[in-house]
Amino acid sequence: MKKHDNIFAAPLNKVTDFKFDESVVDVFPDMIQRSVPGYESIIHAIGELAAMKVTDGSRVYDLGCSLGAASLSVARATEKKSCEIIGIDSSEAMVDRCKRIVQTFSLPNPVRVEQGMAQDIQIDNASMVIMNFTLQFIPPADRESLLKRIFDGLNPGGILVLSEKIRHPSVAGNELLIDLHHQFKRNNGYSELEVSQKRASLEKVMLTDTYAEHEQRLSNAGFDEVVMWFKCYNFTSIVALKR
């Protein structure tokens, strides 16, 4: 049974930086569904993209796999292909829970889950790499080199799926999108206190970029095409292609 997210429901004496610890892992499915517009559509589309782009004998890397939703979507969509699916997450609590989750399914292509930093993972023989709301938690100074390493590790024809919360280039536009997102959360049952405390907790941890910054960085890394396929409020998902 999915647990209800009430981490920020009570007033906190001090709002600490957000961490993917055991308390977050316990409520993560509820948290992500009530906080990220279009999340289920993105997970479904990752499976559709995998069916199109994953090749026999290649690898799929899910960097920042959390509880394995994207990895499982790929595994279910590639039943007629033989591929290696590798989920990576820096959180020990996430990795432990994800391992237990994926083991409950009988999958044509099993998911291997490992703990590690995305910046340290060697990408090789990949037809698909997924970063589903992960890059925004990586130090900005490390982002371009990570994307270059992903590009180098992708086979020709491979893709990177990059989903991110983005920042509008103007202050007024950015505040409008934030207001719409906060209303989305209120509509999903979060209180004003929860919205405020969660925002404060993420302020120094989740550092967002504009779409133009993402596009330029992907181009600098070597990607030939950068396609925004999804956007709702300040959330987007991008497919970057290596010809």
Which residue's entry shows tokens 């992907």? 218
Helical ranges in 3-139 per DSSP H: 22-35, 39-53, 69-77, 92-102
What pLDDT, on a 0 to 100 scale, did the predictor assign at position 158?
98
What pLDDT, on a 0 to 100 scale, did the predictor assign at position 1?
64
**DSSP state, residue 96:** H
Q: How far apart are CA 82 and CA 61, in angstroms?
A: 14
Q: Give Dmax (Cα) for the chain.
A: 53
Which residue's entry shows tokens 């086979």? 155
First to last CA, the chain: 43
Containing H/E element for 87? strand 84-89
What pLDDT, on a 0 to 100 scale, did the predictor assign at position 30?
96
At CA 189, angle to CA 185 and CA 194, rounded to 5?
65
User: pLDDT of 139-167, one tens digit each?
Assistant: 999 999 999 999 999 999 999 999 999 99
What pLDDT, on a 0 to 100 scale, did the predictor assign at position 2?
75
- Is residue 171 packed enough to be buried (19+ CB in 10 Å), middle (13-18) or exposed (0-12)? exposed
Number of Cβ within 10 Å of residue 84's Cβ equals 15
Number of Cβ within 10 Å of residue 234's Cβ equals 20
Q: Which residues contact 216 (CB under 8 A, 6 or more apart)?
A: none
Q: How far apart are CA 129 and CA 131, in angstroms?
A: 7
Listed as ranges, residues in the chain with pLDDT below 50 are: none
Of 194, 172, 173, 211, nearest to 35 by C-alpha is 194
CB 132 within 8 A of CB 161: yes
Whole-prediction pTM:
0.96
